[in-house]
Amino acid sequence: MRQAGRIVAEVLAVLQQRVRPGINTAELDELAHQVITKNKAIPSFKGYRGFPASLCVSINEEVVHGLPSKKRYLEEGDIVSFDVGAIYQGYHGDAAVTLGVGEIAEVAKELLAVAAGALAAGIAQSRPGNRTGDISWAIQDYAESRGCSVVREYTGHGIGLQMHEDPQIPNYGQPKQGFLLKPGMTFALEPMVNQGDWQTRVLDDNWTVVTKDGKLSAHFEHTIAVTEGEPEILTSS
Q: With respect to Mg ion, which residue has the nearer C-beta, 23 or 218?
A: 218
Minimum distance of Mg ion from residue 1's CB (angstroms): 14
Whether the Cβ atoms of residue 143 and residue 149 lie closer than 8 Å to each other? yes
Q: With respect to Mg ion, which residue has the nearer C-beta, 188 or 225?
A: 188
Q: With respect to Mg ion, which residue has the nearer C-beta, 23 or 87?
A: 87
Q: With respect to Mg ion, which residue has the nearer C-beta, 36 or 188?
A: 188
226 vs 234: CA distance, rounded Å: 10
The residues near 219 (Cβ < 8 Å, ≥ 6 apart) are 58, 63, 64, 81, 83, 96, 98, 115, 190, 191, 192, 193
13 vs 189: CA distance, rounded Å: 19
According to the 3-state scheme, what is the secondary structure of 77-120?
Answer: CCEEEEEEEEEECCEEEEEEEEEECCCCCHHHHHHHHHHHHHHH
Q: Binding residues for Mg ion, per CB under 5 A?
A: 94, 188, 190
Minimum distance of Mg ion from residue 76's CB (angstroms): 29
Q: With respect to Mg ion, which residue has the nearer C-beta, 52 or 77?
A: 52
Minimum distance of Mg ion from residue 188's CB (angstroms): 4
Minimum distance of Mg ion from residue 194's CB (angstroms): 17
DSSP element (H, E) containing 193: strand 192-194
Minimum distance of Mg ion from residue 217's CB (angstroms): 15
